[in-house]
Structure 1
Amino acid sequence: MTSLEDLTRLVPPPASPPPTDWNAIETLLGTPLPGDYKQLADTYGPGAFCNFIHLYHPHGPTEWVDLTGPMPARLRRQLVTDRNNDTYPMPHNPEDLFAIGVTDNGNHLFWITTPREEPDAWRITVNQADGHAWYTYDGNLASFLTSLLSGHTHAPVFPDDLLGNGPFFTPSPPTDNAPRPEPSPAGSTTSREAIRQWARSQGYDVPDRGRIPGHVIQAWEQAH
């Protein structure tokens, strides 16, 4: 049984996700993509796991979650800048990282694209929202999600209550008005605490730890 089969047993996919022309997508990106990701994207379509992990998808409703949009390149440029400025410790070469998802806390998921010519061997790494910590999983995206959502893997950069409501998948609404996930604005490594402080100064009620509500993140992005 494959990791994707295990994942679909754990988290049932929606009935009719949109089809994708992967030849066209890979030509546009200039790189082949891992087979497990293409099967996962075809099975689930755009959306979020546990209303927290938003995978990039060719049919993502906004640029923040569009696989072919500006975020992968923007995030790579920011990581290169952080490395060159010695801003944060970085366990991987930014040129080898390809962003594949974002969480409501501003974490980003990346493929480690080595060996470049063997996408099915690419592993997964996740950074903390403020850039200080990374978690690397020795496996592909489907196996990472299966292990994470079954509770067998704990990623320290994710909140402890990730599975508080159990594992589930929510498809993105088929409109441009879908709620945006919480990327690090413009690819920056803005501290979540800075956003919390700004939100409180504006009268928002935000928790001291855990997820920052999506409407607060959206208000912060509009203000900045």
Structure 2
Amino acid sequence: MSKGIKIAGMTEIMGRRMKESWQTSPRVTYSMSVEISAAEAFIRTFNGAHEQENLKINYNHLLMKACALASKKYELFNSSVEGDEIILHHEINIGLAVATEKGLMVPNVKSVDQLTFKELCQETRRIIQGAREMKLNYDDICGGTFTITNLGMYGIEGFTPIINQPEVAILGVNQICTRLMMEGETILTKRFMPLNLVADHRIIDGAMAAEYLNQVKGSLEAPEMMEA
């Protein structure tokens, strides 16, 4: 026998926002892969140095910082549309999609471009824990200017996330993959993280999206340059 489940609470709110986004933003998806050997080494070094403090960074922290720095350079990625105006935000607040028992939540870390990785690690841990325990405050949920959603740990090889209104772009992160590469006459095995940037084409064109992704790629492939 069929069973009906009433759409309510967070599911209702998320559904309404996703419908609004789908009807509002003309979306284009741009894909690029990042070679992660330097990122892996940076994570190992950082976590080893902060083991006594129980601080561990992961790819999400590097992605958040890389996107924040790219948004600082390409300010339209840190904007929203209100009526016939583009609002450029002075803070770069990166939202991170978090799966909870009651549905998806997107808390955000404020002024990510100004944080050290230690500070970013501490604040990200706080908002993720708060989301899962339903203990976030209003400020944790509101004010985001760019969102990252990472499905790589679920084995997802490619997806097109829906923009989190009123933002104008979102980054989807896919499963890390291994590829054989030729360098001269030598065959090497390298690991790559595929990224999908979805952008509102009213505001962001293809050339700008490509420049933004290349900036993110450059930061992830030289993560030591991102430390504030």
Sort the TM-score into its range (normalised by shorter chain). Answer: under 0.3
Higher Cα radius of gyration? 2
Larger strand percent: 2
Larger helix percent: 2
Give TM-score scaled by structure 1 length: 0.27
